[in-house]
Amino acid sequence: MDILIVGSGFFGLTIAERAAASGRKVTVIDRRHHIGGNAYSEDEPTTGIEVHRYGAHLFHTSNPSVWEYVNRFTTFTNYVHRVYTNHKNVVYPLPINLGTINQFFQAAYSPAEARALVHELAGEFDSKDAANLEEKGIALIGRPLYEAFIRDYTGKQWQTDPKDLPAEVISRLPVRYNYDNRYFNDTWEGLPTQGYTAWLERMADHPNIDVKLDTDFFDESQPLNKRATVGQLPIVYTGPVDRYFDYVEGALSWRTLDFEQEVLQVGDYQGTSVMNYADADVPYTRIHEFKHFHPERADRYPTDKTVIMREFSRFATREDEPYYPVNTPEDRAGLLAYRELAGGEKDVLFGGRLGTYQYLDMHMAIGAALSMWNNQLA
């Protein structure tokens, strides 16, 4: 074995694929029973509908080398992501656009009129001096739109009053003065035609790659554990950085998600793939309806059944799956300390979402892994 990779998410698999293609022998371990990290998906057994096990994953990128690379393993459908939100039992399009504004104010404003109105409503705070998320939100879109679509949704997601969250969380809240409601602005967007797991399996499908599942790096009863391997060969570690160092600098804080999945005996539950729930009295943040991610599979998906998943957000304990870094000032200080420790760890490179305590989209995780391979490992 020339290299050990801890974690079979997109970061780990990209390193594994590149290393194998250049003739190195690679072992990838993962503590879960499947490959792919959070991008893993599987077919719900009674309906055959592909379900994204760890929350909806939409692929999008503007990076030409990442787009060229991912197309070696899968083709993509022409799915374009659009999100709607339910506020007081009325459905509005997101991100906030001229359609949202006109529906909310029961008006027919032109782009210039809507811009002038939001400018006037937003005058309460100056965006540059905004001290917290609430002030920033009001400075960007005005209080009425902020209170309807942002305040309570953000409060549910972070279990924190937006007045106590940093302004940066929504520093680039898009507001569009036209009717464009595409969720992403990237050059390329789509879903893997044969599903995420087929894509991930193709990346790992090489005689030089050995994948061991149900194998935890910190479990000393299995041979490829931390104590037995560090210093013996190059290691790429994509698990949580604080766990690697036994939390010596404290535990970094994460949000986790709980998913409640249900098979319903109706052909179409909500008419779209993702519906957000903006109000505080609904406990979940959104509902995913998976068949809408693949309209091109209409002939093979059932017409009388559907799979939905309600998403709930909360702070993670050490036993939960970490999903989104919270990034408090204490977390940022802790991360600096861990980065210093990581720099001193012989032959171990830290990568990916958990290893660098960063929210990374899939294209960012793949791009970062390609850079690590080219600049530090190849």
Give me the active site residues, please. 172, 176, 255, 286, 311, 359, 361
Q: Is 254 in the site for ligand UDP (CB under 6 A)?
A: no
Using CA atoms, how far residue 272 sits from 252, 275, 283, 313, in Å, is 36, 7, 20, 21
CA 129 to CA 329: how far, in whole Å? 19
Q: Is 57 in the site for ligand FAD (CB under 6 A)?
A: yes
Among residues 57 and 87, whose Cβ is nearest to ligand FAD? 57
Contact 8, 204 (CB under 8 A): yes
Tell which one of 97, 238, 276, 356 touches ligand UDP (CB under 6 A): 276
Q: Is 229 in the site for ligand UDP (CB under 6 A)?
A: no
| Exposure class string for 194-218: b at 16+ Cβ within 10 A, else e | ebbbebbbbbbeeebbebeeebbbe
Q: Is 195 in the site for ligand FAD (CB under 6 A)?
A: no
Residue 11 contact, options ligand FAD, ligand UDP, none, Cβ 5-8 Å cut-off depending on partner type: ligand FAD
Tell which one of 41, 157, 197, 253 touches ligand UDP (CB under 6 A): 157
Among residues 89 and 375, whose Cβ is nearest to ligand FAD? 375
The three-state secondary structure class of 346 is coil
Residue 239 contact, options ligand FAD, ligand UDP, none, Cβ 5-8 Å cut-off depending on partner type: ligand FAD
CA 366 to CA 36: how far, in whole Å? 12
Q: Distance from first CA to last CA of the chain, Å, rounded?
A: 15
Tell which one of 69, 73, 149, 196 touches ligand UDP (CB under 6 A): 149
Contact string (CB under 6 A) for ligand UDP, positions 51-90, x = contact? ----------------------------------x-----
CA 68 to CA 72: how far, in whole Å? 7
Q: Is 181 in the site for ligand UDP (CB under 6 A)?
A: no
Contact string (CB under 6 A) for ligand FAD, positions 226-265, x = contact? ------------xx-----------------x--------
Residue 335 contact, options ligand UDP, ligand FAD, none, Cβ 5-8 Å cut-off depending on partner type: none
> What is the 8-class DSSP label of residue 3?
E
Q: Is 7 in the site for ligand FAD (CB under 6 A)?
A: yes
Helix (H) or strand (E) run with residue 338 in it: helix 329-343
Helix (H) or strand (E) run with residue 27 in it: strand 26-29
Nearest CA among 185, 201, 190 for reference residue 295? 190
DSSP character string of 114-163: HHHHHHHHGGGS-GGG--SHHHHHHHHH-HHHIIIIIIHHHHHHHTS-GG
CA 59 to CA 39: how far, in whole Å? 10
Residue 169 contact, options ligand UDP, ligand FAD, none, Cβ 5-8 Å cut-off depending on partner type: ligand UDP
Q: Is 360 in the site for ligand FAD (CB under 6 A)?
A: yes
Among residues 32 and 151, whose Cβ is nearest to ligand FAD? 32
* Dihedral of alpha carbons 296, 297, 300, 301, sign: negative
State in angstroms the smallest separation of the CB of 181 from ligand FAD. 17
Nearest CA among 144, 153, 147 for reference residue 106? 144
Residues that bind ligand UDP (CB under 6 A): 85, 94, 149-150, 153-154, 157, 169-170, 276, 278
Residues lying near ligand FAD in the complex (CB under 6 A) are found at 6-12, 29-32, 37-39, 54-59, 216-218, 238-239, 257, 323, 352-354, 360-363, 365
